[in-house]
Structure formats: C-alpha cells, structure tokens
Structure 1
Amino acid sequence: MKFSALLAIAPLVAALPGSHSKNSDAPFSVISARSASPIHLLPLNAAGSYFWLGGNAHSYSPVPGVPETNQTVIAGGHFLDVKVPGGQAIYVDPKGALRFTTPHSAYEPAGASDGPFAYKPGASFGHWSYSGQGASGFMACPTTNGTSGYRRSRRGAAAAPKWQVYAALQNATVPSGKVNDCLGFDALAVSVNSTAPAAWEYI
C-alpha cells in the first residue's frame, strides 16, 4: 500500500468507536518509514525474542478463545500487548538489538536498557521512539543469513525477514559487523482499535 493511501485511511481508523489514538498508553502497531528504501512501510514484528521488519509475528496461545496472531501490538510504550501473567517487556540488549522478554520471565541480560521508549499519538500516525544510551530512534540491519536470532513458530514459518531492528547506536553489534549497512527509519505508530490484548504471548 502506498504511503499516500495510508495517510488517507488513518484518520478514518482513528475515528472508529473505541479508538485509542489520543491515549499514550493505548495499544499500537508499528510500520517503518524510510522513503525510497527496501524497508519503507514494512511492519515491525516480534519473533524469537527479537524484532524484525517484515515477516510475521510469532505468537502462541494455550487458552481456548484467545487466538494466535501474526500482528505485533505494543502497549504502554515498552510492553507487548499480551495477556500472559507477568507480561512481556521490550528492551534493548547490550549489543543494541531490540528484544522482548520471554513469557513467565522478566529476565533481561546485564547491560540491557529499558528505555526511555516514548509513544506519541498523532492525528494520522503517531510516533514510537527510543532515546536510551544516546540513541536516535531505531535502525534496521540486514542479517547475514536471513535467520540471525529468528526461530520458527510452533506451526512453522516462512523464511525469516531480512531486516533485524536495533537501537540507532554507532557502537551496536550488528549481524554484518558494519553499522553503516543499517538503515535508520521512523517508527510510525498506528492505533489499534481493540480493548482486548492482541495475543496471549509472543514467542
């Protein structure tokens, strides 16, 4: 879908009953914006404890009535929108990779950063950012084999997406070994019109 088309429909989505577009704690999904690049308008997805541009989210539900989803939804700025007890936090690991905690565990490695992450709603699109460790938002880095840190879901999955998401840090340890291979992007936030958690858990 072209960017102009997204801009045209965004106000309609925001106007739907129950929309959370004005609430900074409300759930949202993210798409990348970097014109004339291979990452333009790709969805941000959680899979294998990391975040990617493109592909699908990996979720799991052991509870009848709570469906699995291939969409990644964030709530409260730095948490996945899940129902699993304890929740799942989003953080940046010591290598600079954007990650999420595993279900039933709040473990983050030594040297990890919990933010600050910030979500700012907007009339058409909001914006999600990370400014910890002096970062200037996010960047997408090509993986060396298409599978770095990415695992298959329990139902099986298509080929891993090519772009892994990192904090925009010059000292990040990226898959290719060269930060200059990465592309910075704006994380556009799209309000999610739902009062129920998006998933039981992401895996």
Structure 2
Amino acid sequence: MKSTVYYSLSILASLLASTTATPLPVDNPTDLKQCAGQWYNPSSYTCRIGADSKALCPVVNGEPMNECAGACYTPLRYSCNGTALVENPRKASGTYTLTASNPDQPWDNQPIQAAGNHFWVGGHAATYCPSNVGSICTSFPNDTTLIGNGFMATVVPGGQSIYWQTNGALAFTQAHSSAHWNLSYYGGGVAYEGGGYFGPNGEDLITCPVTPAGSNTTAWQLFARLAGLAFSSSCVGLYVVVRDQNITAGAWQYT
C-alpha cells in the first residue's frame, strides 16, 4: 500500500496550475470580476479566499480548482490539511467504472466504454460471451467498463491487460493474446480512492474526435498527455472519475 505523501508548495508549483493571473485593464467588459485587485474572467478563473490569502484559481475541464495555502488543486487528486496539499490514497485493488467529467461538454457524466481495444467517452462497450459457458454472462453489466489493477475486470482465461500506446491512447489487449501494439507503458493509469483517474505517470487526460476503423461516425477516444506528444486543437480536456463497483467482472471479455 502506498503511503500518503506530503508535498512542499515549491514542488507543487511545478505540478499544479498557477494561482495568479495577469491583471486586466479596469475598462474591461462588465462580465469581468475582481479578486484581490485583479480583474478576471469567471469562465476561466474563480476567486478562492483562503485562511490568509486570496487566489485566482483556473477553471480546468469545466470545473473551478480549489485553493490551499496559495496553491490550486483538484480534489480528485489532492486534499488540503490546512497548510499543505496531500496526495489522496491511490486505489490498489477492487473493480471500478470510469466516468467522464467536463460540465462544458455534452458528454459530461458519460461512462468510459471499451470497444475496439481502446476506450471511448459514451456509447456502449463491445463485449463477447461464448455460448458454451452457460448462464454466467447474464450476471455481467456488459455495458460498463470495469478496470482493475492494470487489467480489465473480465473472466476470460488469460484475462485482458491495459496499457498505453505511443500516441497516448489507453488500450487493452485482445482475449487470448498478450500482444501490446505500439506499447509505451504497461498497466493502467493512476486511480485515486473516491477520486480521479490519470495517465500512467499522473498525466492529464484528454479526449479527441476519432473515426474508428470501419465506421462512418466520429467518437471521442481517451488519451493521456504523455511527454513529448502534441494533440489537435479539436481535443478536449476532461477529468475521469473513479466509481467503485461491488462486482467481480463487467463482461466475459471485451472486444
């Protein structure tokens, strides 16, 4: 079990969004507001009043960040003990679903689904159950992707593992195969208890419009902002929320 980690604000300064914004001229439009003498656009920032300071915290993925002793953070990843940020406990076991979160987007609160060996926002999971296994598959939700500790929550012999591809895409192996195509990182992302899901090293996640092979319809595919990658301006940032499930598997296998 990973121990709780306390970060100094100097280290967090390189990890978290800036808490200051460039003051805007006084003659800006009337929809601007003030925070500690700084003009700001409330669609991009929020004014947080701490115990001994006022801070402008950015709106990220449609959600205003919280403030802790002058540092801005998302509660999906950190907590504030009053004087410092604390990393939330990481999830090491159990099954859970993933849900997209960005209130500014039409797919907000949609499930992350598995299909075509990748992950998508909304839609339906692609699953398979052989006819010779009896009625076991009637107990699976099938329409919800469950992710364990680096593996899909399936019962197919050999299982299905999760990995990250070189283009930042979150992917899963085919049943009865250990092949990892265009592998960048083995295993899933960083999941927090009652919190969020991030890239293999804690990177932010985004979703991009992609037309899957054999389809004429655009779907939103899940990616991580891995180091050195650049993404199209059509991609949109999102938080991915972890929701615990009290079942052992989501499907016999995902396809």
- TM-score, structure 1 as length reference: 0.70
For 2:145, the aligned partner's letter is: T
RMSD (CA atoms): 2.5
1:111 deviates by: 3.9
CA 1:75–1:189 in 2, change beyond 3 Å: closer, same or farther?
same
Aligned equivalent of 2:92, options 15, 19, 24: 24
Take 2:136 and 2:217, find their aligned partners in 1: how far apart are those partners?
A: 25
Q: Any runs of at least 4 consecutive aligned residues in structure 1 with deviations exceeding 3 A, and if so which?
A: 169-173
Higher relative contact order (CA 8 A, sep 6+): 1
Take 2:243 and 2:200, find their aligned partners in 1: how far apart are those partners?
A: 20
Work out whether residues 115 and 130 of structure 1, in 8 Å CA contact, stay in contact via their aligned partners in 2: no
What is the aligned residue count? 161
1:112 deviates by: 2.6
1:58 deviates by: 0.7
Number of the residue aligned with 1:71: 144
Number of the residue aligned with 1:164: 221
Number of the residue aligned with 2:253: 201
CA 1:56–1:166 in 2, change beyond 3 Å: closer, same or farther?
same
Which string of whole-angstrom CA distances, capped at 9 and with x for unpartnered residues, describes residues 62-121 of structure 1?
A: 122222611111111x21100011111111112221110000111112543125622211
Number of the residue aligned with 1:10: none
- Equivalences for 1:123-134 in 2 at 5 Å? 126-132=195-201
For 1:167, the aligned partner's letter is: A
CA 1:116–1:65 in 2, change beyond 3 Å: closer, same or farther?
closer
2:97 is the counterpart of 1:33:
no
For 1:162, the aligned partner's letter is: A
1:50 deviates by: 0.9
Q: Give the structure with higher Rg (CA).
A: 2
Number of the residue aligned with 1:42: 110
Richer in helix (by share): 1
Gaps (5+ residues) in structure 1?
A: 1-21, 152-158
Number of the residue aligned with 2:209: 142
Work out whether residues 127 and 186 of structure 1, in 8 Å CA contact, stay in contact via their aligned partners in 2: yes
Q: Report sequence identity in percent.
A: 29
For 2:250, the aligned partner's letter is: A
SS of the residue 1:74 aligns to: coil
Work out whether residues 54 and 161 of structure 1, in 8 Å CA contact, stay in contact via their aligned partners in 2: no
- TM-score, structure 2 as length reference: 0.57
Gaps (5+ residues) in structure 2?
A: 1-89
